[in-house]
Chain A
């Protein structure tokens, strides 16, 4: 087996792997998971996939709040006193071994009766005996094998999330009706007289009529409703001619059957409704495991530890009051603005600003909601109500509270259908008047025939299939859009705004530079040897930066202070490495994160860590700069302005030190000038801007976990593909426009038959499905073709 790859998670173990049972592990966490699984005969886990695991996190005390019954009650979906059902969202589900081990949870805890994984949604539903185990035990068990459930305020608030299955039922009815009507209609296509058919055709016709009734009344009812709603508002949406067509076909066909004139157009009618519904289903591509509607609530914990008279107590977040004292442990989020009372805060505001370097806070300093404590536990005193805190205030902005109805009315199809409907009605009136001079009966036939053949099935299908298909293609390439309407919005964009930190720069890699007195080789070796022992991300970065061989001598008095630094003695050199505060230096560079080096009581200097820009930022910008106006809105200072100016086009606007509200306002101003704005950002501080913009795209390093409310989520590793995605969206709209032309062509042909009173059921039965199917094939092929070219 491979030596240096962790048996559990597949990461590189480095030079000193943890060994157990002849296997290497990258850390003790992974080893523990292996031990748990191995002891319980679940080691089959490792046979299903190579290195399937993820590294477990520290959990001590983290889930104590689940013992609070009020909270547990909110999470549990169903309970009858002895058995309970709970569903968890587990972001780390990623392979078949995950499914296997999670569905064998009962082996690890006998009180778990069964567990069922839903892989696409990344959820596990657990049935357990509530007498023998508690919610907390289960969550701790899951976390101990590195499947930590994601529990947030949002889960607690959830009102029964019911999926609307009406469309599926409607489709089922339509398919049933279509299939049977087609069979029954077929014999009469061949007008053979005196055949056995004459005897049975009445039964066939009445059966077709009967089968069509549920299809029209149930399957197609949404078209009537939306058409009616549109008409009330004076809007001719595409649903108007569809609804009109359906009603006319049904009434005329029924009349033909009842008056014994002909078989009617029930086959075309049911086929039309079936295809339309199929388009609707296809359009509905949802990424169940992604959420595009997150607000601050989904970032926040459900409960916090409150200190009452020296005792710790878990309380739900919404019960926190001004003046309460809270205990925030390592890796916990500060839910509310507060003053630090006890301990040393090292607050990571990456959710809020996108900046991942922790900020030091001492006793008496103000800490803001949304920051995550890294380091020891701290005690804080609450100074604001939850709804009034710096972060949550943004959400009281109208943009988040307005329940903006999805604006379907202005979309491409509906804009065209307005003219289409008027034209059709005009044509039918003219044709009707013309025939009325010759024969009134024929006139009625012609008017209905025009409305039947003009029913814009192909028109209505083009956009759903083209956009639905493109949405899927984007999804495969890790660009997830909220819905198909976003593609059309992207097409109209004129102005693109970038956030800087976390969007143009990456959170993962840092660039180090050294400022200070130069080291002797001996000193450098000592520093490197010391830094090698630490696992902190900054230490690792520094370790790879210093290019000397580390000494083999053992380090004396090694000490690592969480969140501050490390110290030790080596070759008679006393070395301290860490924050300015840790080595008692005055921090000179307040803009960047610094690592100070102190040797034998003298401060030698510091390493400065700078975020680096994503790969190919320059080429992307020059690509986009030719087609769009660009702006930069950054919450940071303007330290990087000179560099940005070198890669951005001359006309770019630069705005620094922007608060979340400022960003939102800036976009509003642009929109008032008539610009269509796309915002590309990442942190919660961009949330307002993302919501205000016409298209808000969130860049995310880990798409499963954190992204603010937006219209689309782009995997950060694919940032360079952004121009491709934009141009593909534009092409999709062009394809739709082409297919509109194609469908008009069909309508011209059909119109010829209708106006000359030659529209037989056979012609309709051929023409209508043919146009729908060719349009669907055309847009699907074209979108795939364009996508593959890239």
Chain B
């Protein structure tokens, strides 16, 4: 059962690692704004260059497909 020394050590170390990560995230401001990134990740990266004409139709199709 001496293995328990290792498992206890590992479990506390793991906990400590997460604690460290939590501290770092708080410090870098990851929890300051928890809304905007959720919207931002859904934006396309490229700007749309095609002409505006059939845009409306495409948009409704897109909307349906996402819903």
Question: Which residue in chain A gives the minimum CB-CB distance to B42?
Answer: A96
In the bound assembly, the distance between CA atoms of A235 and B11 in angstroms comes to: 43
Question: Which residue in chain A gives the minimum CB-CB distance to B49?
Answer: A41
Contact A176 B1 (CB under 8 A): no
Contact B52 A165 (CB under 8 A): no
In the bound assembly, the distance between CA atoms of A21 and B31 in angstroms comes to: 43
Contact B48 A44 (CB under 8 A): yes
Question: What B residues does A44 contact at CB under 8 A?
Answer: 44, 47-48
Question: What B residues does A165 contact at CB under 8 A?
Answer: 26-27
> Looking at the complex, which one of B15, B39, B40 makes contact with A179 (CB distance below 8 Å)?
B15
| A356 interfacial contact with B, CB 8 Å | no
| A437 interfacial contact with B, CB 8 Å | no
Do A180 and B26 contact each other (CB < 8 Å), given the known contacts A118-B32, A196-B1? Answer: no
Do A43 and B52 contact each other (CB < 8 Å), given the known contacts A172-B19, A172-B22, A183-B11? Answer: yes
Q: How large is the interface on A (under 10, 10 to 19, 20 to 34, 35 or more residues)?
A: 35 or more
In the bound assembly, the distance between CA atoms of A103 and B49 in angstroms comes to: 18
In the bound assembly, the distance between CA atoms of A359 and B32 in angstroms comes to: 45
Question: What B residues does A643 contact at CB under 8 A?
Answer: none
Do A119 and B33 contact each other (CB < 8 Å), given the known contacts A176-B15, A203-B8? Answer: yes
Binary contact readout B29-58 vs A (1 if CB under 8 angstroms, 0 otherwise):
001110110011011100111001001100
| A100 interfacial contact with B, CB 8 Å | yes
> Looking at the complex, which one of A104, A169, A184, A196 makes contact with B47 (CB distance below 8 Å)?
A104
Interface majority SS (helix, strand, loop, mixed), chain A: helix
Instruction: Kindly identify, within residues 30 to 87 of chain A, every residue whose CB is under 8 Å from any CB belonging to chain B.
Output: 38, 41-44, 47-48
| A476 interfacial contact with B, CB 8 Å | no
Question: Which residue in chain A gives the minimum CB-CB distance to B44?
Answer: A44
Contact B26 A169 (CB under 8 A): yes
Question: What B residues does A47 contact at CB under 8 A?
Answer: 48, 55, 59, 62
Contact A168 B31 (CB under 8 A): yes
Contact B52 A207 (CB under 8 A): no
| A669 interfacial contact with B, CB 8 Å | no
Interface majority SS (helix, strand, loop, mixed), chain B: helix
Do A43 and B26 contact each other (CB < 8 Å), given the known contacts A119-B33, A199-B1, A207-B8? Answer: no
Binary contact readout A569-587 vs B (1 if CB under 8 angstroms, 0 otherwise):
0000000000000000000
In the bound assembly, the distance between CA atoms of A100 and B39 in angstroms comes to: 9
Question: What A residues does B27 contact at CB under 8 A?
Answer: 165
Instruction: Kindly identify, within residues 162 to 220 of chain A, every residue whose CB is under 8 Å from any CB belonging to chain B.
Output: 163, 165, 168-169, 172-173, 176, 179-180, 183-184, 196, 199-200, 203-204, 207, 211
Minimum distance in angstroms from A177 CB to a CB of chain B: 9
Question: What A residues does B6 contact at CB under 8 A?
Answer: none
In the bound assembly, the distance between CA atoms of A165 and B16 in angstroms comes to: 19
| A309 interfacial contact with B, CB 8 Å | no
Question: Which residue in chain B gives the minimum CB-CB distance to A41?
Answer: B47
Question: What B residues does A310 contact at CB under 8 A?
Answer: none
Question: What B residues does A119 contact at CB under 8 A?
Answer: 33, 35-36, 39
Contact A43 B55 (CB under 8 A): yes
| A653 interfacial contact with B, CB 8 Å | no
Contact A41 B8 (CB under 8 A): no
> Looking at the complex, which one of B5, B36, B56 makes contact with A99 (CB distance below 8 Å)?
B36
| A408 interfacial contact with B, CB 8 Å | no
| A121 interfacial contact with B, CB 8 Å | yes
Question: What B residues does A96 contact at CB under 8 A?
Answer: 39, 42
| A107 interfacial contact with B, CB 8 Å | yes
Question: Which residue in chain B gives the minimum CB-CB distance to A179?
Answer: B15
Question: Which residue in chain A gives the minimum CB-CB distance to B55?
Answer: A47
In the bound assembly, the distance between CA atoms of A176 and B48 in angstroms comes to: 47
In the bound assembly, the distance between CA atoms of A179 and B49 in angstroms comes to: 53
Question: What A residues does B36 contact at CB under 8 A?
Answer: 99, 117-120
Question: What B residues does A42 contact at CB under 8 A?
Answer: 47
In the bound assembly, the distance between CA atoms of A176 and B15 in angstroms comes to: 7
Question: Which residue in chain B gives the minimum CB-CB distance to A98?
Answer: B39
Question: What B residues does A21 contact at CB under 8 A?
Answer: 52
Binary contact readout A115-130 vs B (1 if CB under 8 angstroms, 0 otherwise):
0011111000000000
In the bound assembly, the distance between CA atoms of A28 and B50 in angstroms comes to: 25
Minimum distance in angstroms from A166 CB to a CB of chain B: 10
Contact B39 A99 (CB under 8 A): yes
Question: Which residue in chain B gives the minimum CB-CB distance to A50?
Answer: B59
In the bound assembly, the distance between CA atoms of A163 and B52 in angstroms comes to: 44
Question: Which residue in chain B gives the minimum CB-CB distance to A21?
Answer: B52
Do A118 and B33 contact each other (CB < 8 Å), given the known contacts A103-B40, A165-B26, A207-B8? Answer: yes
Minimum distance in angstroms from B61 CB to a CB of chain A: 11
In the bound assembly, the distance between CA atoms of A716 and B5 in angstroms comes to: 64
In the bound assembly, the distance between CA atoms of A117 and B11 in angstroms comes to: 39
Question: What A residues does B56 contact at CB under 8 A?
Answer: 1
Question: Which residue in chain B gives the minimum CB-CB distance to A48?
Answer: B43
In the bound assembly, the distance between CA atoms of A172 and B26 in angstroms comes to: 10
Contact A38 B52 (CB under 8 A): yes
Minimum distance in angstroms from B26 CB to a CB of chain A: 5
Minimum distance in angstroms from A23 CB to a CB of chain B: 9
In the bound assembly, the distance between CA atoms of A47 and B11 in angstroms comes to: 49
Contact A200 B1 (CB under 8 A): yes
Contact A207 B26 (CB under 8 A): no
> Looking at the complex, which one of B8, B19, B40, B47 makes contact with A173 (CB distance below 8 Å)?
B19
In the bound assembly, the distance between CA atoms of A557 and B56 in angstroms comes to: 42
Question: What A residues does B19 contact at CB under 8 A?
Answer: 172-173, 176
In the bound assembly, the distance between CA atoms of A207 and B32 in angstroms comes to: 34
Question: Which residue in chain B gives the minimum CB-CB distance to A199?
Answer: B1
Contact A200 B47 (CB under 8 A): no
Question: What A residues does B12 contact at CB under 8 A?
Answer: 180, 207, 211
In the bound assembly, the distance between CA atoms of A117 and B35 in angstroms comes to: 10
Question: Which residue in chain A gives the minimum CB-CB distance to B9?
Answer: A207
Question: What A residues does B59 contact at CB under 8 A?
Answer: 47
Question: Which residue in chain A gives the minimum CB-CB distance to B12?
Answer: A180
From B8, B42, B44, B56, residue with most partner A Cβ within 10 Å = B8
> Looking at the complex, which one of B8, B22, B33, B55 makes contact with A120 (CB distance below 8 Å)?
B33
Instruction: Kindly identify, within residues 8 to 24 of chain B, every residue whose CB is under 8 Å from any CB belonging to chain A.
Output: 8, 11-12, 15-16, 18-19, 22-23
Contact A180 B15 (CB under 8 A): yes
Question: What B residues does A118 contact at CB under 8 A?
Answer: 32-33, 36
Question: What B residues does A207 contact at CB under 8 A?
Answer: 8, 12
In the bound assembly, the distance between CA atoms of A100 and B41 in angstroms comes to: 10
Question: What A residues does B5 contact at CB under 8 A?
Answer: 203
Question: What B residues does A196 contact at CB under 8 A?
Answer: 1
Question: Which residue in chain B gives the minimum CB-CB distance to A121?
Answer: B33
From A121, A179, A180, residue with most partner B Cβ within 10 Å = A180
Question: What B residues does A107 contact at CB under 8 A?
Answer: 47
Question: Which residue in chain B gives the minimum CB-CB distance to A176?
Answer: B19
> Looking at the complex, which one of A43, A121, A180 makes contact with B11 (CB distance below 8 Å)?
A180
Question: What A residues does B42 contact at CB under 8 A?
Answer: 96
Question: Which residue in chain B gives the minimum CB-CB distance to A96?
Answer: B39
Q: List 22 A-B contacts (CB under 8 A).
A: A21-B52, A41-B47, A41-B49, A43-B55, A47-B48, A47-B55, A48-B43, A99-B36, A99-B40, A99-B43, A103-B40, A107-B47, A165-B26, A169-B23, A172-B19, A176-B15, A176-B18, A180-B11, A183-B11, A199-B1, A200-B1, A203-B8
Q: A residues within 8 Å of B by Cβ?
A: 1, 21, 38, 41-44, 47-48, 96, 99-100, 103-104, 107, 117-121, 163, 165, 168-169, 172-173, 176, 179-180, 183-184, 196, 199-200, 203-204, 207, 211
- Having A44-B48, A47-B59, one finds 4 other A-B pairs with CB under 8 Å, namely A42-B47, A43-B52, A117-B36, A203-B5
Give 3 closest A-B pairs by Cβ, nearest first.
Answer: A119-B36, A176-B19, A118-B33
